[in-house]
Structure 1
Amino acid sequence: MKMSGVKDRTGYQMLHYCLAHLAYHFSRQLPRRNRTKLQVLLVLLVTVFLFPQMFVLARPRSSRYCDQPLLYNLTTFIIFTFIMTGFTFLLTLMDPVPRELKVAFHAFGVGSFLQGIITTAFTIAAPECVNTTPELYHLSLVLSVLSMLATVFVILLIPFWLVNSVYRGMLLNTGSQAGICHRPVADCPCLWYFEN
């Protein structure tokens, strides 16, 4: 029996990468001794983030027939949420962040991006699922839109990350408070990149 969870699961994946990335950079704005408060806040946010997914997964109507495997996708999405939570806690606790963890996190981002494309494709292909599995379809639709927004955000930042990695400090050098982009992002360097 095909399930309709796959769509919303995929769309949310790039969102997972974006949320963990933003949490990392926002944690760097806080003094090390105050990051415990951020950890408590993250637990609350993850709980709020997981609740709709678990609610829809537990709904009896979610297991009804749908042309697209949305329910399987939702299960995958929940697994990615737990992986995102692990990355978020590691990235906010470690200072400095080991290179291996950065590489693993960016690999997770690539997987999230691919999952987002698949979710969006499943959601577009399953308009009839709104009649059989409405909660699952609507969650999939919301997650697809959020994923697309997160993907656009990350894609807009990629050229800046690349230029700054090739020409260290040209765009943003937080240590010397210099660079072309220093003034526009002086209040929020958290949007940029993983510092060495």
Structure 2
Amino acid sequence: MFLYMLIFMAYKSSRWMPLNKRLKFQIVNAVFVVVVLTPQIYIMGRPKSSRYCRQPLLNNLSASVALSIIASGLSVVFTLLDPVPQGLWAAYHVFGLFSCGHGLCTTVLTLTAAACANTTTELYYLSVALTVASAISTGFFMVRSGLWLTNRQAVMWDK
């Protein structure tokens, strides 16, 4: 859910700026994409990351890189379009399901890969960081969904 949250934050942040001033925001967006992708690609390319580990953390990291690239594209498109078409919103929410599934897989793989901390240290700790980020973003969306449902119920009771 971490990448889903990044797109959401980019979209909400870009709406504070007028449409003709969003180029500066695109530069910030590009820097943020580099900050997210660089450690993943660096660790994936390290020879130590290909050592034996019982859990497929390297495969999970490659899926994370692919989802990060898709998320960067969606964040750029979401910040440039005003209004965002319904089909793109649907694609964003489907991406959110994939991101949620990836977060769950990352969590399960990380929790069962404690022995990999000795053989593939950087890969394991990046997996831990992705698990924590996924948990925090899932909590964020759970609170946000709860507030949305509460607000929706209040509106329904007012009618």
Task: Give your verdict on TM over 0.5.
Answer: yes
Q: Give the TM-score normalised by the residue count of structure 2.
A: 0.93
Q: CA RMSD in A?
A: 1.6
Identity %: 42
Q: Is 2:70 the partner of 1:83? A: yes
More helix by percentage: 2
Q: Give the TM-score normalised by the residue count of structure 1.
A: 0.76
Distance 1:134 1:57 in 2: 12
The structure-2 alpha-carbon separation of the partners of 1:23 and 1:165, relative to structure 1 and needing over 3 Å to count, comes to: farther
- Unmatched 5+ stretches in structure 2: none
Q: Which amino acid aligns with 1:159?
A: G
- Write out aligned runs for 1:130-149 (5 A): 130-149=117-136
Structure 2 residue aligned with 1:175: none
Q: C-alpha displacement at 1:165, in angstroms?
A: 6.2
Q: C-alpha displacement at 1:114, in angstroms?
A: 1.4
Distance 1:154 1:90 in 2: 22
Structure 2 residue aligned with 1:129: 116
Structure 2 residue aligned with 1:6: none
Q: Deviations over 1:98-139 (max 9, x none)?
A: 011111101111111111011101000000001110000000
Q: Is 2:56 the partner of 1:65? A: no
Distance 1:167 1:102 in 2: 26
- Unmatched 5+ stretches in structure 1: 1-13, 171-196
Q: C-alpha displacement at 1:162, in angstroms?
A: 4.2
